[in-house]
Amino acid sequence: MSSSPSSNDNDPNKKKELTPETIAEMIEVSFINSCLQLASGYVDVLKLFIVAVKAGYEAGLSLDQLEKLVHDCPVNTANRDLMKEEKDLRREWMLVVYTMLDGLNSIDGKVIASADANVEGTAESRVSNLISAILNIRQQLELEEEQSGGERDATAALASLSVSEALLRSETLTQMKDACGSNLMEKAFLMNDVSVAILTFKVIEEERLCLEGSSVNIQPPQPPIPGTS
């Protein structure tokens, strides 16, 4: 007599195992839609992209390893080969998430600069300076919270910060924007990077609140993106 499948095997709510390949597929599927949504002012899919990259970080994958997995992913959401600029943007957003997580996880709350971050004009240098600026804003907000006797919540303030507000608070970000001059591509990359950095902090905070409000062991978030099932 053949054994019948266990009830767990037939459970529609059973989570798909979050393997490195699954993480890469989530990134691949969410990236193009993130670009389209961000251009329209929406960030829902971008948050899923950030969640997936964060999962790769927490799985111990280096940025290069994760990027290769995404490149080798058999799913092609765009139904075409991505242009070099699109691949560069995808890597840069992944770099923003990794660098932000490094900074938040460091003992002194500062960015741990890689060798490439010291080479002027590279994406690593730009992202390192940008994340340092965002973390400095976080320190400003924490000081304001302390001075207000706790009335001004620094975490909530940073999570809800707009790109324009970040520029007003940071001389570094303003200088970076001015340095772009008339280069619209560089300026777009910078503004998008600021958005991704702030949204990464917001995703981390939302996940923390979710986990604190639950007494059960929760798997890393797995957004129901078409193509990952």
pLDDT single digits (tens) 55-76: 999 999 999 999 999 999 999 9
Residue 216, pLDDT > 50, answer: no
- Mean pLDDT to the nearest integer, 204-215: 79
- Mean pLDDT to the nearest integer, 85-101: 95
Q: How confident is the model at residue 108 (pLDDT cuts 50, 70, 90)?
A: low
Counting runs of H as helices and runs of E as strands, what totals does the chain give?
9, 0
Contact at 8 Å (CB) between 23 and 66?
yes
44-53, 158-167, 203-212: the lowest-pLDDT one: 203-212
The predicted structure's pLDDT at residue 157: 92
pLDDT single digits (tens) 7-58: 455 555 555 678 999 999 999 999 999 988 887 778 899 999 999 999 999 9
Task: Please list, in sequence order, all residues whose beta carbon lies within 8 angstroms of the beta carbon of residue 221, skipping any fewer than 6 positions away.
Answer: 51, 55, 207
Residue 125 and residue 119: Cα distance in Å, rounded?
6
What is the DSSP track for 162-217?
A: -HHHHHHH-HHHHHHHHHTTT-HHHHHHHHHHHHHHHHHHHHHHHHHHHHHT--S-
- Report yes or no on 171 lying in a domain: yes
CA 101 to chain centre: 9
The answer for 215, left when phi > 0, alpha when psi is -120 to 50, beta otherwise, is alpha
Please choose, from the candidates 62, 57, 55, the residue with its C-alpha nearest in 3D space to the C-alpha of residue 23: 55
What average pLDDT does the chain have?
84
Helix, strand and coil in the chain, % to nearest 5? 65, 0, 35
| Half-sphere exposure for 186 (CA within 13 Å, toward CB) | 12
CA 158 to chain centre: 15
- Report yes or no on 124 lying in a domain: yes
pLDDT single digits (tens) 179-205: 999 999 889 889 999 999 999 999 999
Residue 225, pLDDT > 90, answer: no
- Report yes or no on 217 lying in a domain: no
- Mean pLDDT to the nearest integer, 131-151: 93
- Report yes or no on 5 lying in a domain: no
- Report yes or no on 137 lying in a domain: yes
Q: Tokens at residue 226, please? A: 């078409």
Residue 161 and residue 184: Cα distance in Å, rounded?
23
- Report yes or no on 218 lying in a domain: no
Query: To 5 degrees, how large is the angle CA 139–CA 140–CA 146?
Result: 90
The predicted structure's pLDDT at residue 218: 47
Please choose, from the candidates 200, 204, 196, the residue with its C-alpha nearest in 3D space to the C-alpha of residue 93: 196
Range of the domain at 38: 20-212
Q: What's the structural domain count of the chain? A: 1
The predicted structure's pLDDT at residue 144: 93
Residue 200 and residue 130: Cα distance in Å, rounded?
13
- Report yes or no on 219 lying in a domain: no
- Report yes or no on 64 lying in a domain: yes
